[in-house]
Amino acid sequence: MHMEIILFKLFIGLSLAIFLLPKKSLFYFSLFIQSVLIVITSYWATSIFLLDKKITHPFISLLGHNVNVNIDSLSAFFILVINFTVLTGLIYAKGYLVPYIKTKNKIDLAWHYFNFIWLHISMLLVVMLHDALAFLIIWEIMSLSSFFLVIFDHEKKATLKIGVNYLIQMHIGVVLLMVGFIWVNVQTGGDFSFDWLGVYFATHPPLYLFMLFFLGFGIKAGFIPLHTWLPQAHPAAPSHVSGVMSGVMIKMGIYGILRVLMYIHHDLFDIGFLVLFISLLSGIIGVSMAIVQHDIKKLLAYHSIENIGIIGIGIGLGIIGLAENIPFLSVLGFGGGILHILNHSLFKSLLFYTAGSVYKQTHTRNIEQLGGLIKKMPKTALFFLLGALAISGLPPFNGFISEFLIYFGMFKSLHLGNLNTNFIILFTFSGLAIIGGLAVFCFTKVFSITFLGTPRSNKAKKAVEVDFVMLLPAFMIGTMILLIGFFSGIFMSPLAQIVHLFTGNTFPFKHLVPVMNHISLSSGILIVFAGIFMILRIWQQKQHKLSEKSTWGCAYTGANPATHQYTATSFADNFIQLSAQLVQVKRGFKHFEEEEIFPEERSFKTHSLDVFENILFRLPLHKMIRMFRKIAIFQTGKIQHYLLYALIFLIIISVLTYLNWI
């Protein structure tokens, strides 16, 4: 492994050479660098699963002590997820960035690719380093590189504002993590590393320190109410960046939480309940906020919060299962949550890529201005539909498999726990079912409004299918989605190795494998029957001569066909009325007056507000600004006033000194 480490560090350093290359070579150089990194680290990861061992090797010397690379099955899992998502994102960027080659100068494009490489490098190192100082440095590099990727369109003032907001929140997170590590170091007197968490937790109550780490990592993950950066940053970033950030970067927060949990072996019930409660809240609020969005990328961003909630639900149930000694709940809870990390990285990156293709061809993210794209962009529509079905947890796709593990664990555990545990399981079951139902509702809305019906604008009418290079990542991801959905049994063995780190046993997987095989068989039968039905339908259609006419003609063809279709607002109107306090949709419309015989032209607009963003950020910020404006009255611009302030300050200091107060 020594030569592989040297090669790994060599190509990290070689990334700096990207600034010396011409525009046309930037993508290929980036692809070369990242492909080598992918091959090396994927080899390490696969060897972990095949040989069922850990890797520890010196990596670098930092402040006089050696920092090692530490790779176990949890790190190996994240390495493979990171590598696959980054590879698809880089391929997609080849087509997505074509218009920017003419408008951006070479330095801007080189800087973008450089930060994309370093986002990849930093995520790999985050999951491989246990030394706390090195971890925090790499964590900060990950935040900085993603910040520069988010503000790719830095010419726009709004984009810079969003980027700064993102960077500030990431720094709050790293400060919380730093405080947590320092506290452990002070209390134990040991090394500044993850490994000393076990020493601390063995002799101290774990809840409060865990909460500190959960807040620090939870900001990156996007748990409610730590999510406010996420719905802003994803729409502002280029779509390949959004796909990678949502697909894997926010999962670095989940990785951190899981890594901390590995060292906690007592007082687990309160921790599990905390994680479960926040995760249910994130899932329900995330999908509810997604339903009322018109910006397709902002809608997908809120679904990232929802799916982080689903991952957290699995982890929370797993912790409670450990606390209550319920193996089915612990093993299948952790198993479902961890598998959903992989599944979400697949279908969410696929959805962001296809949404980016729609934006590239129509120059709008507002789904109200789309419609009819299934005829203009049929391949993109098909892949978006695949991602929508998968994220909704419908069989026979991958999202169903991970959610099934969580459901199966709850069903199997109902009769094994006490009354409180059974109540928590039933409440969680209901919450997860609500999240799934709302997800189906949301993606029914977004797919039908975006791809079905007739075009609502000239932008949609002029759309054409994207190039093959932008469809290739969708094909790669789609293949993985179907592979997990149809052949889930082959993923159970490596998943069991990861779960064993947390639970110490995996015997429920022995009961699970036959069930997963039956699911795969049922999925195959479903597809066969669907194929037969489609063949019969095509044969039946060929027996009749088909003609096309205006759907809403009715002897009058002057109306715009788009006016007879559902809009995103009308589709979600009933839900908005039922959850008005939660989603807070503001309507902009001037009502008709009785005396208006000839009404003037009107417009109707809706705007959704994030409750937590208002309470935690906007309202305090506005109050602070008003306070500063009041204080600004002292800035008169007259020198005699400033001299007077200095004199008053000296008098106050003298009085306080005389009274021995300072």
Backbone angles phi, psi at 192, to 5 degrees: -85, 80
Residue 250 lies in a domain: no
Measured from the Cβ of residue 143, the count of other Cβ atoms closer than 10 Å reads: 21
Q: Are residues 380 and 484 in the same domain?
A: yes
Q: Which helix (H) or strand (E) holds 70?
A: strand 65-71
Res. 578: pLDDT tops 80: no
Do the domain assignments include residue 184?
no
Please compute the mean of the pLDDT values over residues 405-431 and round it to a whole number: 90
More confident residue, 94 or 418: 94
pLDDT at 659 over 80: no
For residues 607-629, give the mean pLDDT.
69
Query: What is the rounded (10 degree) CA torsion for 395, 396, 399, 405?
Result: 80
The type of residue at 18 is I
Distance CA 459, CA 373 (A): 10
Last-in-domain residue among 538, 558, 579: 538
β-sheet bridge partners, residue 69: 57, 129
Let me know whether 350 and 453 are in one domain.
yes
CB atoms within 10 A of CB 636: 10
Place of tokens 């009325």: 577
Q: Which residue has the higher pLDDT, 88 or 544?
A: 88
Backbone torsions φ then ψ of 56, nearest 5 degrees: -135, 125
Residue 233 lies in a domain: no
Residue 616 reports pLDDT greater than 70:
no
- 163 in a domain, yes or no? no
Q: Which of 509, 538, 567 is the last residue of a domain?
A: 538
Q: Cβ–Cβ contacts within 10 Å for residue 554, how many?
A: 8
Task: Decide: 327 and 505 in contact? Cβ < 8 Å.
Answer: yes
315 and 432 in one domain? yes
CA distance 44 to 375: 45
Nearest to 237 by CA among 288, 171, 301: 301
Q: What is the CA radius of gyration of the chain?
A: 27
393 versus 630: the higher-pLDDT residue is: 393
Of residues 231, 206, 207, 230, the one with CA closest to residue 218:
230
Burial status of residue 270 (CB atoms within 10 A of its CB: 0-12, 13-18, 19 or more): middle
**CA geometry: angle at 242 spanning 289 and 585, to 5°?**
20
Examine residue 4 and state whether it is found in any structural domain, yes or no.
Answer: no
CA nearest 71: which of 38, 46, 37? 46
Verdict on whether the full-model pTM lies above 0.75:
yes
Domain span holding position 629:
612-662
- 3-state helix, strand, coil split of the chain in percent (to 5) is 75, 5, 20
pLDDT of residue 318: 95
403/504: higher pLDDT? 403
Residue 454 lies in a domain: yes
Provide the pLDDT confidence category of residue 649 given band limits of 50, 70 and 90. confident
Is 230 a domain residue? no
Q: What is the mean pLDDT of the chain?
A: 88
Residue 618 has pLDDT above 70, yes or no: no
* DSSP codes joined into one string, 552-602: T-TT---S-GGGGS--HHHHTHHHHHHTHHHH-EEEE--PPPTT-SSPPP-
Exposed, middle or buried, 647 (CB in 10 Å: 0-12/13-18/19+)?
A: exposed
Domain presence at residue 141: no
Residues 533 and 618 in one domain: no
Residue 467, helix vs strand vs coil: coil
How high is the pLDDT of residue 283? 94
Tell me how many domains the chain contains: 2
DSSP symbol at 504: S
Amino acid at 361: Q
Q: Is residue 558 scored above 60 in pLDDT?
A: no
Q: Please indicate, yes or no, whether residues 525 and 625 belong to a single structural domain of this protein.
A: no
Q: Is the pLDDT of residue 547 over 80?
A: no
pLDDT tens per residue across span 183-220: 998 888 877 888 889 899 988 999 999 999 999 999 99
Task: Please list the residues that pair with 605 across neighbouring strands.
Answer: 588
Query: Any idea of the CA torsion for 88, 230, 282, 451, to the nearest 10 degrees?
Result: -60
